[in-house]
């Protein structure tokens, strides 16, 4: 069957170099070979995330770590900041875990703002909050630095940040931000296959976890910390994914992190320019657009030409490319195109030709 290239906002296209790295012979996860592999990865992840803390590797998708962060770090009340499908779901996860949770809900497409969080935290009821840096369902990026600035005012509140679709595409300085957990799954901006998550905890988060008796087993952050000190993971990891991560980090540093961030900026701008050339607007509030995808309004609100997102998706698929026809309650009224991972000015130029042809055929 012909391959359909992924331009959905995760999973994204995986290079053959990366797949090749996954075929390295299996090794034991308690042996020197694995420890050397992890030890080789660790400093590059620390540079990427601008942290002195150990970076952990979890064999799970992002939701495992998202659930684990709540299990490990909150015993009082959690504030779930909600502005789209993924951040809304985190509130359900809190409730399913039996946590006392409160929703800070803004309309989809709006970012979360620091003053909204400040007003809730001022009640003194909370010991944790969850925030999605880049809400993938709506293509909206919340102002992380502005929000993290609240941490000094509320040191007892654990700031748990999902950067699933922004980590590696935009700079995130973990230590300088002063946040407590930063996590991502590898199938988005890392451009690895799904099945691995990368995360880091602050010293304050580890101290908080030590006060919580029911941290669970698989996502016990103190076990991650203890094992990471020995360049190991608590349980048998997906070693093949970790080989792929090793190879991918080679790519990141060969390109240079600043060049990588700049490339995402440029390719994202190309997609935004394409939308405006066709008289289409972006779904997120102006000034808070994601750098890793575009979530485009289908035009119905403008009263002009309306794009049939499902048909556009089909036309693109006929050309061998998969885009997304909108997520959850904005399915059909929006569509999304990803520029995460290995996409370049050249590959996005090709994509734009295909988009032009597909939109002309509607
Ligand atoms: C994709 C995504 C998730 C879910 O990740 P899984 O890998 O399915 O667990 C969570 N948060 C954001 C922002 C995402 O984009």
- The Å distance, Cα 151 to ligand 1 centre, comes to 24
Phi, psi of 200 (to 5 degrees): -140, 145
Give me 294's structure tokens.
Answer: 């575009």
| pLDDT computed for residue 213 by the predictor | 96
| pLDDT computed for residue 301 by the predictor | 74
Q: Does residue 162 have its Cβ closer than 6 Å to ligand 1? A: yes
DSSP per position, 182-248: EEEETTSTT---SS-EEEEE-HHHHHHHHT-S---STT-HHHHHHHHTTT--SS---HHHHHHHHHH
Q: Does residue 185 have its Cβ closer than 6 Å to ligand 1? A: yes
Beta bridge partners of 194: none
Do the strands 101-105 and 78-82 form a parallel or antiparallel pair, or are they unpaired?
A: parallel
Looking at domain 16-254, which CATH architecture does it have? 3-Layer(aba) Sandwich (3.40)
* pLDDT tens-digit series, residues 235-256: 999 999 999 999 999 999 999 9
Phi, psi of 303 (to 5 degrees): 75, 5
Question: CB neighbours (10 Å) of residue 98?
Answer: 7
Segment 228-232 shows an average pLDDT of 98
Cα 146 from Cα 131, distance rounded (Å): 12
Q: What is the CATH number of domain 257-360?
A: 3.90.1150.10
Q: Does residue 335 have its Cβ closer than 6 Å to ligand 1? A: no
Ligand 1 atom nearest residue 132's Cα: 13
* pLDDT tens-digit series, residues 3-13: 999 999 999 99
Residue keyed to tokens 């997304």: 324
Q: Does residue 68 have its Cβ closer than 6 Å to ligand 1? A: no
* pLDDT tens-digit series, residues 159-213: 999 999 999 999 999 999 999 999 999 999 999 999 999 999 999 999 999 999 9
| pLDDT computed for residue 299 by the predictor | 85
35-43 contacts at long range (C-beta below 8 A, 24 or more positions apart): 35/230, 35/231, 35/232, 36/231, 37/239, 37/242, 37/243, 37/246, 38/228, 38/231, 38/232, 38/233, 38/242, 39/231, 40/246, 41/242, 41/245, 41/246, 41/249, 42/228, 42/231
The average confidence (pLDDT) of the chain is: 97
Domain with CATH 3.40.640.10 in the chain: 16-254
- The Å distance, Cα 273 to ligand 1 centre, comes to 27
- The Å distance, Cα 11 to ligand 1 centre, comes to 10
Q: Write the DSSP symbol of residue 110.
A: P
* pLDDT tens-digit series, residues 333-352: 999 999 999 999 999 999 99
Cα 252 from Cα 259, distance rounded (Å): 9
Phi, psi of 62 (to 5 degrees): -60, -35
Domain with CATH 3.90.1150.10 in the chain: 257-360
Q: Does residue 87 have its Cβ closer than 6 Å to ligand 1? A: no
| pLDDT computed for residue 261 by the predictor | 98
Cα 169 from Cα 252, distance rounded (Å): 10
* pLDDT tens-digit series, residues 28-52: 999 999 999 999 999 999 999 999 9
Describe the crossing of helices 239-255 and 32-48 by its angle, rounded to 10 degrees: 40
- The Å distance, Cα 66 to ligand 1 centre, comes to 9
| pLDDT computed for residue 136 by the predictor | 98
Percent of the chain, pLDDT > 90? 97
Cα 55 from Cα 20, distance rounded (Å): 24
| pLDDT computed for residue 2 by the predictor | 86
Element (H, E) at 317: helix 309-318
Q: Whose CA is nearest to atom 2 of ligand 1?
A: 164
Burial of 94 from C-beta contacts in 10 A (0-12 / 13-18 / 19+) = buried
- Residue to substitute in 112, 162, 328 for testing ligand 1 pocket (most ligand atoms within 8 angstroms of CB): 162
pTM for this predicted structure: 0.98
Cα 147 from Cα 193, distance rounded (Å): 31
* pLDDT tens-digit series, residues 46-69: 999 999 999 999 999 999 999 999
């Amino acid at each position: 069957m012909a391959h359909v290239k992924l331009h959905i906002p995760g999973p994204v296209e995986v290079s053959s170099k990366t797949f090749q790295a996954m075929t390295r012979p299996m090794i034991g996860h308690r042996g020197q070979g694995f420890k050397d592999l992890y030890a080789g990865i660790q400093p590059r992840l620390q540079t990427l995330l601008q942290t002195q803390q150990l970076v952990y590797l979890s064999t799970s998708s992002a939701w495992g770590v998202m659930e684990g962060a709540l299990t490990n770090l909150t015993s009082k009340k959690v504030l779930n900041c909600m502005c789209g499908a993924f951040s809304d779901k985190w509130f359900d996860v809190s409730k399913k875990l039996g946590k006392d949770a409160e929703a800070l809900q803004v309309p989809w497409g709006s970012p979360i703002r620091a003053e909204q969080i400040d007003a809730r935290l001022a009640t003194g009821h909370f010991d944790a909050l969850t925030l999605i840096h880049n809400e993938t369902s709506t293509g909206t990026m919340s102002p992380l630095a502005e929000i993290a600035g609240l941490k000094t005012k509320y040191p007892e509140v654990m700031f748990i940040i999902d950067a699933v679709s922004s980590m590696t595409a935009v700079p995130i300085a973990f230590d300088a931000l002063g946040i407590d957990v930063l996590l991502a799954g590898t199938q988005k901006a890392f451009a690895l296959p799904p099945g691995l998550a990368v995360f880091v905890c602050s010293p304050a988060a580890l101290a908080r976890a030590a006060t919580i008796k029911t941290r669970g087993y698989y996502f016990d952050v103190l076990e991650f910390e203890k094992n990471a000190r020995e360049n190991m993971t608590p349980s048998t990891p997906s070693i093949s994914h970790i080989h792929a991560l090793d190879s991918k980090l080679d790519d990141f540093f060969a390109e240079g992190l600043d060049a990588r961030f700049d490339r995402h900026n440029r390719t994202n701008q190309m997609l935004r320019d394409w939308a405006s050339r066709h008289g289409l607007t972006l779904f997120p509030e102006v000034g808070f657009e994601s750098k890793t995808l575009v979530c485009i309004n289908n035009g119905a609100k403008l009263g002009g030409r309306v794009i049939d997102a499902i048909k556009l998706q089909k036309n693109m698929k006929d050309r061998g490319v998969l885009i997304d026809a909108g997520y959850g309650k904005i399915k059909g009224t929006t569509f999304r195109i990803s520029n995460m991972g290995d996409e370049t000015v050249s590959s996005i130029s090709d994509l734009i030709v295909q988009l032009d042809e597909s939109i002309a055929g509607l």
